[in-house]
């Protein structure tokens, strides 16, 4: 299985963060894909199939998410840059989110 997926967990509520707009950018091409997280906080196939080697960035519209909750946030957007070195691999980039902190890792 190759391609790119992501998911967002709201660390304050301990629940998936649904409805967050996620955009994928490639350094050489600009925005190449976008989707909203589903009710499980996931975008299971933001970019299905092989993903070309190169530098990429995921942008999460966290400001709109927290606005709908009526919650102040320090991070209106979270951007995660990463490198694809194996086009045949699957890349999963999770985001653990709270209004004043976030973390990420390369998932499986």
Per-residue model confidence as pLDDT tens digits over 60-92: 999 999 999 999 999 999 999 999 999 999 999
- The model carries a pTM of 0.95
Mean pLDDT of the chain: 95
Average pLDDT over residues 39-63: 95
Does residue 105 contact residue 94 with C-beta atoms inside 8 Å?
A: yes
Task: Report the b/e string of 74-89 with b at 16+ CB within 10 A.
Answer: ebeebebeeebeeeee
> Could you confirm whether domain 3-102 is CATH 2.60.40.180?
yes
């Amino acid at each position: 299985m190759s391609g790119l997926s992501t998911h967002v967990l709201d660390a304050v509520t301990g629940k998936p963060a649904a409805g967050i707009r996620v955009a994928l950018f490639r350094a050489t091409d600009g925005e190449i894909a976008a989707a909203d997280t589903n009710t499980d906080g996931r975008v299971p196939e933001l970019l299905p199939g092989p993903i070309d080697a190169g530098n990429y960035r995921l942008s999460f519209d966290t400001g709109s998410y927290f606005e709908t909750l009526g919650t102040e946030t320090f991070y209106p957007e979270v951007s995660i840059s990463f490198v694809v070195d194996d086009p045949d691999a699957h890349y999963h980039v999770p985001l653990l989110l709270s209004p004043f902190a976030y973390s990420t890792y390369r998932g499986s």
